[in-house]
Amino acid sequence: MKTVLTWGVVGAIFLGGYYLSGDEQNTSSYIRKDNPSQTRSFLSTGEVDKDCSDFDSQLEAQEFFEKNGGPDSDPHNLDRDGDSEVCESL
């Protein structure tokens, strides 16, 4: 019984470390200054604001994001959690 308990503890520690090591840190220097839950129709520049629903796929949204400032600037508020991956729900 002691051996099973020992292996269970070792397994839990191993799996916990594995999952924690998969977390990536946000390395972007961009600091959001707006409300990430706010939906806008137009940007302050007058440009039409894009939302995730405006894209057919996550890849399409990601390409748009990277061409329009990427993680250093997100005027369309596509990366709401700041992990540099946009529209994960698509």
Give per-residue pLDDT as tens, 31-84: 555 565 666 677 777 888 888 999 999 999 999 999 988 988 888 889 988 899
pTM to 2 decimal places: 0.55
78 neighbors 50 (Cβ within 8 angstroms):
yes
Per-residue tokens: 70: 């990427």
Half-sphere exposure of 21 (CA within 13 A, CB side): 6
Closest CA to 67 of 78, 81, 82: 78
pLDDT given at position 80: 84
Helix (H, G, I), strand (E, B) or coil at 6: helix
Query: What CA–CA distance (Å, rounded) separates 76 from 58?
Result: 15
Helix/strand number for the chain, H first, E second = 2, 0
pLDDT given at position 87: 94
pLDDT given at position 9: 58
pLDDT given at position 66: 95
